[in-house]
Amino acid sequence: MTDPVTDPVTDPVTNAVTNAVTQPLTRPAIRPAVNTVICTALGIEARAVRDGIPDSARGVEVIRIGMGPDSAGQAENRLARAGALAVTGFGGALDESLRPGDVVVASEIRFGGRTLPCPSAPLLAGELARAGLPVRTGPLVTSDHIVTGAERRRLADEGALAVDMESGPVAVVAAGRPFAAVRVIVDTPAVPLLRPATIRGGVLASRTLRQVGPALARWAAACGPRRVLLAAPRSFCAGVERAIEIVERALDRYGPPVYVRKQIVHNLHVVRELEGRGAVFVDELDEVPEGVVTVFSAHGVSPGVRDEAARRGLRVIDATCPLVTKVHAEARRFAARGDLVALIGHAGHEEVEGILGEIPDSVVLVQNVDDVAALPEGRRVSYLTQTTLAVDEAADIAAAIRRRFADAEGPQKDDICYATTNRQHAVHTVAEDSDLVLVVGSANSSNSRRLTEVASRASPAHLIDDPGDIALDWLVGARTVGLTAGASAPPALVDAVVAALRGLGRVSVEERRVAEETVQFTLPKEVRSR
């Protein structure tokens, strides 16, 4: 192999922080915190990577280290000065579902009896996916020979996605420095190397490798030490924990399938995990077979839904959060005395739909201060609040109602959930000292969106489902990152974000707690321990 490539390569550092939920912020150009060396085995690979990296980049060098683990291991002296290391180039698929041109981002490297983790893999995989590339994340094996036949099947059975011949030694040399490995598939179990059909795979892989270069450069720009400020409380609240436990216990007691009307809580990961255990999520009860176990979600339902369930003989288990149940009871109390109830909330949210259905002839939805002016005169007015609103937003609307209707009565106790209030206070506290705030939660989670809005008043803030949603550009120059999670987001996702950031450099973690939460709710009788 000839044609070494050792010229410095530059990196496309995108300076605009994009996709902030409420307030995009443009950062000044920032030189990467560490210099990065991207290693390839072949000259053709190095040229493809270099072709994909704009000349305006800084701090990245692409070098050819030769083919095989011995050559890669001999490059240690050339790699010693790098602050971060990456390996890329062609690879062979072990998993039969992979095709030529697919991209594998290593979650770990298996080499010489060792398993070397690649913690930033979700960040890099997300970046490549947003660029439109077909990406998989999983174990990568480094071998000292071309893997074929039975050995290929054995490695696939052990869970590895792909094989290469250089990543392992470079990962060993990295020794705690940021490290990434990205392979573009050339050959597959169905079309191994040394067959004519692999020529087409090589062409596809070369084109894809040009697109890998910019993502690796952005990864390089994001590398460096940082501080993470954890907001506390964060993640699951008592009502969410109760709702999830209800579905889990129903599956254990009655066996799958257990039907759930709507998402049990608004989080994609929670729903997927429960689906894997046998829960079936439906939008409406007409999708549920008659007589089967059916769970109502934490957001509550209207009397009409309960009536339909009774008519169809469904075995209902109610997972409505007790704090939402309290709002339903207040709505009935106000309506019973003849009040017009102003419900402060957001149209289309399942909690709001349930409350509107509770007293349909006595309620008006109020979404903002302007809506207060449209409330009719000549009737006593009371008001209630969706439990997951931003505290100050709801307070402004309630104040407008009281200004217009001097005798307006609100709930006996604040409707906004204690967990919502605590999490908003906590994220505000960390946002003031952060360059960037990440809020873990799904896009349909009202409380998670409100957290993002609250944080964005002090710092750029982004709502993410998991580490794969973090754009590397957001992290450039962000040395202090605030981190929280909505009340419906699993705590493990917060841990996953911290782990991914550690893959970019040393991370110190500081928790800022504003409240202790000791609330617990009892389970419905249908799933209590016998």
Question: Could you list the active site residues?
Answer: 351
DSSP 39: E
Helices 303-311 and 350-358, packing angle to 10 deg = 90
- Count of C-beta atoms within a 10 Å radius of residue 204: 16
CB environment 354-391: b (16+ within 10 A), e (fewer): bbbbbbeebbbbbeeeebbeebeeeeebbbbbbbbbbb
What whole-number distance in Å separates Cα of residue 177 and Cα of residue 246? 44
* Sign of the CA dihedral with 285 first, then 291, 297, and 301 last: positive
What angle do helix axes 238-254 and 322-336 make, rounded to 10 degrees? 110
**CA 34 – CA 32 distance, rounded (Å):** 5
Phi-psi region of 131 (alpha: psi -120 to 50; beta: other; left: phi over 0): alpha
238-254 and 268-277 are packed helices; what angle lies between their axes, rounded to 10 degrees?
10
Determine the Cα–Cα distance for residues 142 and 139; give it in Å rounded to an integer. Answer: 10
d(CA 147, CA 427): 50
User: 110 pairs with which residues across the strands?
Assistant: 115, 141
Cα atoms in the Cβ-side hemisphere of radius 13 Å centred on 362: 22
Angle at 390 (CA atoms; ends 388, 392), nearest 5 degrees: 140
Residue whose token pair is 């399938």: 257
Contact 351, 299 (CB under 8 A): yes
Q: Which two tokens stand for residue 175?
A: 């020794």
Give 237's DSSP letter: -
Q: Given its phi and psi angles, is residue 80 left (phi above 0), alpha (psi -120 to 50 degrees) or beta? A: alpha
Measure the CA angle with vertex 256, ends 255 and 261; round to 5°: 120
